Structure formats: C-alpha cells, structure tokens
C-alpha cells in the first residue's frame, strides 16, 4: 500500500512546481491564499497534510483548479503505486441443519 506520506509529497511537489512555473514566491502565494508562509512551505515539502479547504485556497491563489492538481498527482501516483493484491473470493461455509430436540422433550414442555 502506498503510504499517505507519498501522497502528501506528490501533492506538495505539484503545488511547488506550479508556483515555480509562475515564478512566484512562497510569500506571494501564502499572502494570496491567506495561509502562513511556514505552513505553505511545509505543505509543499510534504510535511503537512493540508485540508481540502486549504488546498482549494492555495489553488485559487495559484490560479489553477484543484481538480487539475489532483489529476496530475493521481497520474503520477498511478505510475508508482503497486498493483493491489487480489482479495480471495469469499468462502461460503455450509452449516449443518439445526438439531431438533427429541419429540418426547418437546411434548413435555
């Protein structure tokens, strides 16, 4: 299974690459996204797991769609993620029929 840290790292890399392509500083983007410069730096380095609201705010500040960033991350993850291990089919166990009480016990009750 791919660890969450890998997802954090890929997401941070995608955000940083977008910011750098735009030749913008952490300070500019953090001010526009209304997030501390230190926290944005930690998100970009994959050290913090950003909430969906924070990711949306950073993407708005970068002028990109969150769905496009997530698609980019998903495509990268698909290349490095191992194939899932097949789950065995559910085994159905036939239970023996219930044991009935002897008739003379039922009649006495």
Tens of pLDDT along 50-64?
999 999 999 999 999
Distances in Å between the alpha carbon of 103 and those of 55, 96, 98, 108?
A: 71, 20, 15, 9
- Confidence (pTM): 0.73
pLDDT digits over 70-97, tens only?
999 999 999 988 888 888 887 776 777 7
In this structure, are residues 24 and 33 in contact, taking their beta carbons and an 8 Å threshold?
Answer: no
What fold, for 4-80? Answer: 434 Repressor (Amino-terminal Domain) (1.10.260)
Q: What per-residue confidence (pLDDT) applies to 56?
A: 97
Q: What per-residue confidence (pLDDT) applies to 96?
A: 77
């Amino acid at each position: 299974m791919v660890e969450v840290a890998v997802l954090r790292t890929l997401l941070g890399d995608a955000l940083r690459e977008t910011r750098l392509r735009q030749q913008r500083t952490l300070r500019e983007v953090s001010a526009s996204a209304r997030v501390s410069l230190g926290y944005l730096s930690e998100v970009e380095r994959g050290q913090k797991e950003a909430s969906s609201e924070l990711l949306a705010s950073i993407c708005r500040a970068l002028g990109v769609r969150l769905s496009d960033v997530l698609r980019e991350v998903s495509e990268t993850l698909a290349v490095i993620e191992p194939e899932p291990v097949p789950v065995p089919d559910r085994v159905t166990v036939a239970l023996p029929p219930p044991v009935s009480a002897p008739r003379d016990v039922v009649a006495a009750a």
